[in-house]
Amino acid sequence: MTTQWLISLATDASDQPLDVDAKAPFAVVFEQLSAKFPGGDAAICQLIADAFGLPLFENSALNSKSVRLVPESIAQKYGCYPVADSGSHVTLAIANPADDEAIQAINFAAGRTADLVIASPSQINHLIETGYDHPHQGNALDTQTEAHGQGDTGFGVRGKNVSSKLANAGAPTEKLFLLILKEALNLNVSDIHIQPFVGGAAVRFRVDGVMRQIKSMSIAVMSHLFRHIKAIADLDTTNARTPQDGRLTMTTESGQRDLRLSFLPAEGGERLVIRLLANAADTGGEMNFSTNDHRIITKTMQITSGIILATGPTGSGKTTTLYSMLKMLNHDTTNILSVEDPVEIKMRGVSQTSVNPAQGLTFPAVLRSMLRQDPDVILVGEIRDGETAELAIRAALTGHLVLSTLHTVDALSSISRLVDLGISPILIADALRCVLNQRLVRQLCQACKSAKTEDQLTETERLFLSLTNDSPTIFGAVGCSSCRNTGYLGRLPITQIWEINEDARTILRNDPHNERALKEEADRRGLRSLFESAKDLILQGATSVDEAVRVIGNSFWQALGTEYLEVREQGSIEKPVKATEKLLLVIEDDILRRRIASQLEAMDYVVTALKDSESAKTHIASGYPVDLMLLDIESASATPMSHFDTLQSALAYIGITSVLLIPEGATEVETLLELHQATDWLTKPVSDEDITRKVVSALHRRHL
């Protein structure tokens, strides 16, 4: 890119020759000219503005929300800043309006046309530094050092042989680790992710199910930190090439929390996920069921045999729900056993076993020995194979109450899932008592939520209101200091509870594959959808329409049904809300790739389709924004281990929502995905429609 035009411009306007290095980058030339030119930065900006007939940047035009349009990395790379968003246009502060490449990149990233305003490179740097949301970057943790330096005698972490306390933490790395943990505890975080990113390493927290970037650091600091953590967790500090799992105990003034560590080698370096396991004191009652749901669950808990299933995707609170149920059953007179992978919530009075296949402790093996222990209630962490399913059903049919979870999208599909696992519908009819399907939505922050006026309503909110007869108040998220500017604090379940009655049993026995008859029967008895449950919470002002759309995606649009179609006249309820989202497909199979790409393109997504993960890496590294990656991890030359490698590369791109296609029977991959709370995956064979549906719903639920 040439800088000559700027030098000529400044020289012409000045009385004397301005000697600068024309080959230097634009920002450097700008700075050199500014130092020699009367009036400095402001005068140079004015010259450029006049020459191009463009306005100057003004602070009053700043709209903080516009940063969402352009990723920080792109803004930095091209030296520009999105000042304001006006729907189809974005106001862009830039020093070099002749930089077509930058303008193209922004147009593409923002999905809008850039209207340029002129600002100096230093103004733009300042805007980037202050405008992008680094909610706690640096500052929060640094302030903690001062604020808590003295009074933290009680805060520390303990490994097998080593323990360290914040009060006397010596080395900076030791202190950094304790401060990260302390901050995580303060913010009620469920997982801490530390991983390499382009140009450094990032610490991210999962709070209320949503990832937030907290701090960045250099790769060198991250490596020191990892070695320190491995040392106290009694792991191999020299090994960064194979996955390692460990445990630590965090001690605080109010008690202890167990931490589960998982180091995973990935593209660009090792990454670490620390899960903060729930406290015994947190269990039960934590799930804030609505009065009606609570009544049904309490009633169901009166039964003494049969099976109760909780369904939903990873992170939907299934385990917490089961523990809320266990708590109701936990008396001196009941013998409760649990087998989980691993035990996440400790509960007094329950004999809990973690599976450990290396020691022969598989779900079926543990279940078999449990049945010899005369249990009243058995909690099976998850039914994911036929043998476990069969044992669980058999236990349920022989006088035990079995609680378990299944990975299905709704209550009714638990039947077909069990049939797929080889269970006869007749046995299901006899054993199954109740299926609870749930999701978690974030609760609007009580301190700052605000009622929306008529003209503040979005199109989606208007459609939603059209489904209700009266005109209730709709609340929206605002953001304040108590919710860390997210507008949300805490989570609430939205639920669908299907009680299996005699009529349903009859259908299962006589016509087991007639899902439609089952659905009609359930509807007759008023089986509520997740949408209806979400609707209650919206009308109570407990959550927002945006949040319900994020969490339940398609069901929301389906429920809006006809109204939505009429307004959009688009013909498909799966129409994306924001069609300019950019998708990256990585599918080796030429035919499948073309088919899926053209389907998604027809839905107005911007699609880049690539054959292998190598070119995907190049694509991402080049800075092009990607909203979602669809990755088929099956390839012609694949072995289970190469699946694993591909997957690890994919996981290294955390921050990009991904949908993975997994070959049938790749259980080790599924386990890894579960462990890392990967967002979405589909096990092959799968229909094209299922793939596009998954992509659309993943985009809807995309982290804000």
Residue type, 577: V
At 491 the three-state DSSP class reads strand
- CA separation for the pair 664, 681 (Å, rounded): 12
Distance in Å, CB of 694 to Zn ion, minimum: 32
Question: Contact positions toward Zn ion, by CB under 5 A?
Answer: 445, 447-448, 480, 483
Q: Residue with CB nearest Zn ion?
A: 445
At 524 the three-state DSSP class reads helix
Distance in Å, CB of 476 to Zn ion, minimum: 12
What are the beta bridge partners of residue 583?
Answer: 607, 628
Distance in Å, CB of 479 to Zn ion, minimum: 6
Distance in Å, CB of 704 to Zn ion, minimum: 15
Quick one: CA dihedral 296, 559, 511, 392, positive or negative? negative
475/605 with CB nearer Zn ion: 475
Question: For residues 374, 377, 381 and 387, what is the CA-based torsion angle, rounded to 10 degrees?
Answer: 50
233/444 with CB nearer Zn ion: 444
Residue 150's CB is within 10 A of a number of other CB atoms, namely 8
Distance in Å, CB of 450 to Zn ion, minimum: 10
Distance in Å, CB of 632 to Zn ion, minimum: 41
483/616 with CB nearer Zn ion: 483
111/487 with CB nearer Zn ion: 487
Q: Is residue 413 within 8 Å of residue 437, measured between CB atoms?
A: no
Distance in Å, CB of 487 to Zn ion, minimum: 6
71/487 with CB nearer Zn ion: 487
445/474 with CB nearer Zn ion: 445
Q: What are phi and psi of 132, to 5 degrees?
A: -75, 145
Scanning the structure block, which residue is given the tokens 């000529």?
Answer: 8
Closest CA to 319 of 284, 291, 288: 284
Quick one: CA dihedral 128, 134, 139, 142, positive or negative? negative
Strands (E), 589-692: 606-610, 628-632, 657-662, 680-683
433/442 with CB nearer Zn ion: 442
The token pair that represents 527 in the structure block = 């089986």
483/492 with CB nearer Zn ion: 483
Distance in Å, CB of 449 to Zn ion, minimum: 7
Under 8 Å CB-to-CB from 426, ≥6 apart: which residues? 508, 509, 512
Residue type, 305: S
- CA separation for the pair 557, 551 (Å, rounded): 12
147/447 with CB nearer Zn ion: 447
Q: How far is CA 280 from CA 286, 344, 348, in A?
A: 11, 10, 8
- CA separation for the pair 451, 418 (Å, rounded): 44
446/540 with CB nearer Zn ion: 446
Distance in Å, CB of 13 to Zn ion, minimum: 50
Distance in Å, CB of 486 to Zn ion, minimum: 8
Distance in Å, CB of 477 to Zn ion, minimum: 8
Distance in Å, CB of 484 to Zn ion, minimum: 8
Strands (E), 554-642: 582-586, 606-610, 628-632
- DSSP symbol at 482: T
Distance in Å, CB of 547 to Zn ion, minimum: 14
483/610 with CB nearer Zn ion: 483
- CA separation for the pair 697, 701 (Å, rounded): 6
At 462 the three-state DSSP class reads helix
Distance in Å, CB of 490 to Zn ion, minimum: 11
DSSP 262-318: EEEEETTEEEEEEEEPPPGGG-SS-S---HHHHHHHHHHTT--SEEEEEE-STTSSH
323/488 with CB nearer Zn ion: 488
At 670 the three-state DSSP class reads helix
First to last CA, the chain: 35
Q: Is residue 682 within 8 Å of residue 586, measured between CB atoms?
A: no
Distance in Å, CB of 475 to Zn ion, minimum: 12
447/579 with CB nearer Zn ion: 447
List alpha helices for 282-422, DSSP H: 291-300, 318-329, 363-371, 386-397, 413-420
Residue type, 17: P
402/489 with CB nearer Zn ion: 489
Q: How far is CA 508 from CA 402, 519, 602, in A?
A: 20, 12, 40
Q: Which residues of 402-435 are buried (b: 16+ CB within 10 A; e: fewer)?
A: bbbbbbbbbbbbbbebbbebebebebbbbbbbbb
The token pair that represents 72 in the structure block = 């920080």
Distance from the Cα of residue 656 to its chain's centroid: 10
296/480 with CB nearer Zn ion: 480
Distance in Å, CB of 549 to Zn ion, minimum: 20
CA angle, 377 as apex, 495 and 371 as ends, to 5°?
130
At 581 the three-state DSSP class reads coil
266/448 with CB nearer Zn ion: 448
